[in-house]
Structure 1
Amino acid sequence: MQTETLLYIILAGIIALSLALFQYVYKSKKRTKVTLLLTFLRFTTLFAVFLLLINPKFDKTTYYNEKPHLVVAVDNSESIRFLDQHQNTIDLVALLKASEELNDQFNVEFYSFGKDANPLSKLTFDDKQTNPTVILDRLSQVYGNSIAPLIMVTDGNQTYGNDYEYATQKYRQPIFPIILGDTTRYTDLKIEQLNVNKYAYFKNNFPLEIIAVYNGKEDVNSQLTITSGNTTVFSQNLTFTQNQSSRIVTLSLPANSSGVHTYKAELTPLSNEKNTINNVKNFAVEVIDRKTNVAIISDMLHPDLGALKKAIESNEQREATILKPSEFINLSVDFQQAILYQPNNNFKEVYGVLENLKINTFTILGTKTKWPELNNLQSDFQQTITNQYEYYQSALNSNYTPFIVDDLNFSDFPPLQTEFGPTAFSMPIETILYKTVNGIQLQEPLLLTYEVNQKRAAVLNGEGIWRWRAQSYLNDKSFHNFDNFIGKIIQYLNSNQRRNRLNVSYESFYDGNDNIVITAQFFNKNYEFDSAANLEMTVTNKATKQSLALPFILKQTNYQVDLSGMEAGDYVFTVKTKNENFLSSGAFKILEYNVEQQFLNANVSKLQNLADNSQGTAYFIDDSSIIIDQLLKDERFATIQKSTKKVVPLINWTFLLAIIALSLSSEWFIRKYNGLI
Structure 2
Amino acid sequence: MSSETLLYIILAGITALSLALFQYLYKSKLKSNLKYVLTTLRAISIFGILLLLINPKFESFTYFDEKPTLVVAVDNSESILYLKQDEKAREVLNALESNAEINERFDIKAYSFGKSVGTLDSLNFNERQSNLTLALKQFGEVYANQTAPIVVLTDGNQTYGSDYSYIANGIKQPIYPLVLGDSTLHSDLSIKQLNVNRYVYLKNKFPVEIIANYSGKATINTELKIWSGNTVVFKKTLQFSASKTSEIISMAIMANSVGVKTYRVELVPLENEKNTVNNIKNFGVEVIDQKTNIALVYDRMHPDLGALKKSIESNEQRSVSILKSKELLNKINDFQLVILYQPNNSFNLILKEIKDQKINTFIIAGTTTDYELLYNTNLNLLWTITNQTENFQPELNKNYNTFIIDNLDFSNYPPLQSEFGGFKSSAPSDIILYKTVNGINTGDAMLATYEVDNMKHALLLGEGIWRWRAQSYLDTESFMDFDSFMGKLVQYLSSNKKRNRINVDYKSFYNGNDDVIITAQYFNKNFEFDNSASLSIVLKNKENKTIKEVPLLLNNGNYTVDLSGIKAGLYDFTVKHNSESVAISGSFQVLEYNVEQQFLNADISKLKTLADNSNGELYFASESELLINNLLNDNRYKTIQRSTKNIVPLIDWKYLLGLIVLSLFVEWFIRKYNGLI
| Structure 2 length-normalised TM | 0.94
- Aligned ranges for residues 345-384 of structure 1 at < 5 Å? 345-384=345-384
Report runs of 4+ in structure 1 exceeding 6 Å deviation. 665-677
Distance 2:402 2:675 in 1: 95
- Of 624-633 and 480-489, more deviation after overlay is shown by 624-633
Name the CA shift for 1:294/1:42 in 2 (closer, same or farther; >3 Å).
same
Distance 1:450 1:132 in 2: 47
- Aligned ranges for residues 195-344 of structure 1 at < 5 Å? 195-331=195-331, 334-344=334-344
State the partner residue of 1:427: 427
State the partner residue of 1:655: 655
State the partner residue of 1:616: 616
Contact 2:166–2:609 (8 Å) recurs in 1: no
State the partner residue of 1:43: 43
State the partner residue of 2:102: 102
Distance 1:234 1:508 in 2: 25
Contact 2:64–2:643 (8 Å) recurs in 1: yes
Name the CA shift for 1:99/1:531 in 2 (closer, same or farther; >3 Å).
same
- Aligned ranges for residues 366-515 of structure 1 at < 5 Å? 366-515=366-515
- Counterpart code for 2:340: L
Contact 1:408–1:472 (8 Å) recurs in 2: no
Contact 2:355–2:379 (8 Å) recurs in 1: no
State the partner residue of 2:518: 518
How far is 1:673 from its partner?
A: 10
State the partner residue of 1:191: 191
Other structure's SS at 2:334 match? coil
Other structure's SS at 2:65 match? strand
State the partner residue of 1:165: 165
- Counterpart code for 1:118: G
Other structure's SS at 2:309 match? helix
Distance 2:391 2:22 in 1: 77
- Of 385-394 and 253-262, more deviation after overlay is shown by 385-394
State the partner residue of 1:574: 574
How far is 1:426 from its partner?
A: 3.1
1:280-300 superposed Cα distances (whole Å, 9 cap, x missing partner): 001111111111111111122
How far is 1:655 from its partner?
A: 3.1
- Of 504-513 and 442-451, more deviation after overlay is shown by 442-451
- Counterpart code for 1:407: N
Contact 1:190–1:267 (8 Å) recurs in 2: yes
Distance 2:16 2:74 in 1: 69
Other structure's SS at 2:90 match? helix
Contact 1:422–1:444 (8 Å) recurs in 2: yes
- Counterpart code for 2:66: E
Q: Root-mean-square deviation (CA), in Å?
A: 2.4
User: Could you tell me the percent identity over the aligned residues?
Assistant: 55
Contact 1:187–1:272 (8 Å) recurs in 2: no
Distance 1:507 1:514 in 2: 11
- Counterpart code for 1:455: M
- Counterpart code for 2:290: R
- Counterpart code for 1:367: T
1:121-150 superposed Cα distances (whole Å, 9 cap, x missing partner): 111111111111111222232122222221
Other structure's SS at 2:297 match? strand
Distance 1:185 1:43 in 2: 91
State the partner residue of 1:553: 553
1:94-135 superposed Cα distances (whole Å, 9 cap, x missing partner): 122112222222222111111011111111111111111111
How far is 1:671 from its partner?
A: 8.5
Distance 1:95 1:250 in 2: 50
State the partner residue of 1:58: 58
- Counterpart code for 2:533: A
- Counterpart code for 2:613: N
Other structure's SS at 2:550 match? strand
How far is 1:474 from its partner?
A: 2.4
Contact 1:399–1:527 (8 Å) recurs in 2: no
Distance 1:666 1:221 in 2: 109
1:13 matched to 2:3: no
Name the CA shift for 1:102/1:41 in 2 (closer, same or farther; >3 Å).
farther
- Counterpart code for 2:242: Q
How far is 1:482 from its partner?
A: 1.2
1:505-543 superposed Cα distances (whole Å, 9 cap, x missing partner): 111110111111100001122221111010011111111
State the partner residue of 1:605: 605
- Counterpart code for 2:334: D
Unaligned runs of at least 5 residues, structure 1: none
How far is 1:313 from its partner?
A: 1.1
How far is 1:662 from its partner?
A: 5.6
- Counterpart code for 1:351: L
1:212-261 superposed Cα distances (whole Å, 9 cap, x missing partner): 11111112121211112222222222222221221221111111110111
State the partner residue of 1:111: 111
Name the CA shift for 1:220/1:333 in 2 (closer, same or farther; >3 Å).
farther
Other structure's SS at 1:600 match? coil
Distance 1:142 1:202 in 2: 52
State the partner residue of 2:87: 87
Other structure's SS at 2:127 match? coil
Distance 1:2 1:236 in 2: 88
- Counterpart code for 2:231: T
| Structure 1 length-normalised TM | 0.94
How far is 1:663 from its partner?
A: 5.0
Contact 1:25–1:31 (8 Å) recurs in 2: no
Distance 2:337 2:676 in 1: 107
How far is 1:446 from its partner?
A: 1.2
Distance 1:185 1:53 in 2: 81
Contact 1:194–1:208 (8 Å) recurs in 2: yes
- Aligned ranges for residues 662-677 of structure 1 at < 5 Å? 663=663
Contact 2:258–2:288 (8 Å) recurs in 1: yes
Other structure's SS at 1:412 match? coil
Other structure's SS at 2:537 match? strand
Distance 2:511 2:494 in 1: 27
1:436-474 superposed Cα distances (whole Å, 9 cap, x missing partner): 222222332211112222221111111111111122222
Contact 2:538–2:550 (8 Å) recurs in 1: yes
Other structure's SS at 2:165 match? helix
Query: How many residue pairs get matched?
Result: 676
Distance 1:39 1:479 in 2: 83
State the partner residue of 2:141: 141
How far is 1:397 from its partner?
A: 2.2
- Of 356-365 and 34-43, more deviation after overlay is shown by 34-43
Contact 2:365–2:463 (8 Å) recurs in 1: yes
Distance 1:517 1:508 in 2: 12
Distance 1:669 1:440 in 2: 66
- Counterpart code for 2:589: K
- Counterpart code for 2:336: Q
Name the CA shift for 1:21/1:176 in 2 (closer, same or farther; >3 Å).
same
Name the CA shift for 1:675/1:70 in 2 (closer, same or farther; >3 Å).
farther
Distance 1:675 1:97 in 2: 78
- Counterpart code for 1:539: L
Distance 1:13 1:424 in 2: 78
- Aligned ranges for residues 168-179 of structure 1 at < 5 Å? 168-179=168-179
Contact 1:156–1:602 (8 Å) recurs in 2: yes
Contact 1:379–1:426 (8 Å) recurs in 2: no
